Amino acid sequence: MPASKKMLDDLALSDGEYEAIVERLGREPNELELGLFGSLWSEHCGYKHSKPLLRMFSASSPRVLVAPGEENAGVVDIGDSLAIVMKIESHNHPSAIEPYQGAATGVGGIVRDIFAMGARPIALLNSLRFGPLTDPSNRYLLEGVVAGISGYGNCIGVPNVGGEIVFSRSYAGNPLVNAMCVGLLEAGSMVQATTGSAGNLLMLVGADTGRDGIHGASGLASRTFEDERELRPTVQVGNPFLEKVLIEACLEAARNEHVVGVQDLGAAGLTSAAVEAASKGGTGIELDVSQVPRRDIGMAPYEVMLSESQERMLVIVKDGRQDEIKAIFDKWDLDSTVIGRATDDGLARIYENGTLHAEAPVGLLIDAPQYRPSAVQSQFVAELQQYDLDSVPLPEEGAEAVLLRLLASHNIASKLWVYRQYDHQVQTNTAEGPGGDAAVLRIKGTSKGIALATDGNGRLCFLDPLVGGMIAVAEACRNVACTGAVPIALTDCLNFGNPERPDVYYQLEQAVIGIAKASEAFSAPVISGNVSLYNESHGDAIYPTPVIGALGLLEDVEQHVGVGFTRPGDLVVLLGAEQIADDAATLAGSEYLDLIHDLVAGRPNIDLDLEMSLQRACVSLVREGVIRSAHDCSDGGLAVAIAECCIAGDTGFEGEIATSGRWDVVLFGEAQSRIVVTLSPDRLSALKEICRAEGVPWTELGRTGGDTLRLEGLIDLPMEKIDDAWRNALERAVTASRA
């Protein structure tokens, strides 16, 4: 019988998509079959509005070992017979409903993507967005998400080494929770997510299956929020202690030659895991859901197939070798059950106790429709781009007061309250932990290290998604370059509103173009990622927020530098600027403009050629031992960057910056492609030589030392006051409601 409107609505399938299913299947699908299609054709699994755009990303680097999209995560060669596996993924909608479990299971899911490929997870990062902390509901979300990330990550023994947190009214109804995981893979040990050949057995390993998470992919993550849907029981519940055991057991099993493939059960659960593995293997599948261990009684085949219960893996085993593989999981006290086999007819058949409940071609199930809707820039944004920033008045309060307010802004202030809840030293690889531009990890057994960072700026992408996409890549790469690492690969999470709206699709399309251009320019391919659409509540979309995770490679991990001014008497130099410009255009989308003037306007800009030269120069300066510290100049502008360096090194600064009128632009404008570095005065000639070779302008700012931050005629503040404003603002805001 034809599907009801409610069922199509639950599965986020349109009438046209249902008609296409009927036509291509040659009949009306039954309830279970429609559930399979609804999950696999969902935005979350099928990438209906983004797949045509993602083809713009190039992965031509010789370091890339797996083409993007072919496996659970991207793989990039770092030499010494080692590779890095990495991916970032969203868990936005579940975290908005139940922040602790939403964030916790987001961590669990991204970790499974990594060890499913035979890689040991070695680092976690995150990128978070919330509404203003003046609203108690946003404080509740922040506390719950942070607790979920720490509660899960700390238990599984993977260090949480970095990330970012941004607050804006744009995210008040729809927070963003993006989790990134990095794994280390030895040559020849990669496992694919495939059924292999016909006859191989499908073994379900890990937790029992319950009713949690049903319609998570098709409903919760593939449409906008509506009040009556927010309380649906679609949020999964995690068990990090089980996941820790699952990591070790699966890594051991992956080394066995009789394991053909491994796939995690994430979005759409068993449906996605089994059908996508069959598609990659070019086979069909037969599953008997009566063999699936369950923790809830009376579950129908529909519920078993669509459940998103956590800590479950699908392991494909050669026929006749199942007892040998089962013995591995028995040793780790994990349930493992053969639930089906790969077939040679290309069909997905679902049985229960011998009764056929669903039958559909694998190729049809994974062939979701693709859309390229009209893309039109919002007239409102076009007008904001033309805003006359020269007309913005100078603040009455003066430069010192503005600097203190910016340092206390929740977007700039210390995130210590957050990351001190994370274990970032477990596994003992962390050379630079949270709080700097990028985390640095040593690769044991080698001299190498890797640098990791996540970055994104929704305000800039709102004003110009093309340039904002380029800046997101540039800043993520700049952050790893500041440690001395060469950016070699990217992973992205594209967080946008409803793509069926022309203005939102314009944002998505332009941002992807920008990311693709910058990625190619930096020779840092996008090797993996995730798209999270329909991030809206009550008709309002979030800022377009592409988040970039960057991986940098250090040939000698001991040569990395941090952000802090480390020694009194060092020269402080700004790379990327021959003189300090006071062009008001650099206020576009800045933290200063938003915080002080309650205005988001202007048109951001970046020179990619200068940016590439700047990063090459910085890496060379670190490698040659010329500079002692490096910090990128971004949110808050130059004055904030200097203050952050002073705080990190517990050392003051004295210098002079010439202005021709607009001190707010000079101090707080956010021109791109700038890095603040320190060096011994006797190394200045070496800096000049490297900068000249790369064509990078520079200007001397002053010297480190003392217990004040002093810019002649503009700022003279004791370090104690600066430190207090920056260090305690976020924690005060979070804990204020408890007093």
Which sequence positions are flagged as catalytic? 44, 91
Interatomic CA distance for residues 135 and 150, integer angstroms: 23
The answer to whether residues 447 and 560 touch, using CB atoms and an 8 Å cutoff, is no
* Residue (of 243, 249, 256, 244) closest to 191 by Cα position: 256
With CA atoms as reference, report the closest residue to 648 among 722, 551, 734: 722
Residue whose tokens read 């050379």: 431
φ/ψ (deg, to 5) at 124? -120, 145
**Residue 487 bridge partners (DSSP):** 552
Q: DSSP readout, 476-534?
A: HHHHHHTTTPEEEEEEEEEE-S-TTSHHHHHHHHHHHHHHHHHHHHHT--EEEEEEE--
What span, in angstroms and rounded, lies between the C-alpha atoms of 476 and 467? 14
Phi (first) and psi of residue 246, to 5 degrees: -65, -40
d(CA 114, CA 85): 7
* Distance from C-alpha of 545 to C-alpha of 461, rounded to nearest angstrom: 7
Cα gap 561→628, rounded to integer Å: 6
How far, in Å, CA of 159 to CA of 153, rounded? 7
- Token digits of residue 569: 């008497």
Of 41, 38, 49, 46, the closest CA to residue 69 belongs to: 46
Q: Which secondary structure element, helix H or strand E, spans residue 186, and what is its range?
A: strand 176-186
Phi, psi of 528 (to 5 degrees): -170, 175
Distance separating alpha carbons of residues 689 and 363, to the nearest angstrom: 59
Residue showing tokens 């039954």: 30
Residues 464, 621: Cα–Cα separation, whole Å: 33
Residue of 481, 460, 400, 450 lying closest to 593 (CA atoms) = 460
Q: Which residue has the tokens 């994104």?
A: 456
CA dist 557 → 120, 444, 553 (Å): 20, 10, 9
Q: How far apart are CA 575 and CA 475, in angstroms?
A: 15
Q: How far apart are CA 657 and CA 389, in angstroms?
A: 22
Cα–Cα dist 432/437, whole Å? 10
- Write b or e for each residue in 252-285: b if 16 or more Cβ atoms lie within 10 A of its Cβ, otherwise e: ebbeeeebbbbbbbbbbbbbbbbbbbbbbbbbbb
**CB of 524 closer than 8 Å to CB of 460:** no
Return the number of other C-beta atoms located less than 10 Å from residue 24's C-beta: 13
* Of the candidates 536, 725, 559, the residue with the CA atom closest to the CA atom of residue 628: 559
Q: Cβ contacts of residue 319 below 8 Å, gap of 6+?
A: 199, 200, 201, 341
Strand arrangement, sheet containing 449-455 = 430-432, 439-442, 449-455, 545-554, 486-495, 526-532
The answer to whether 626 and 690 are in contact (CB under 8 A) is yes
DSSP letter for 71, please: S
Chain centroid offset of residue 356 CA: 41
For 357, the 3-state DSSP assignment is: strand
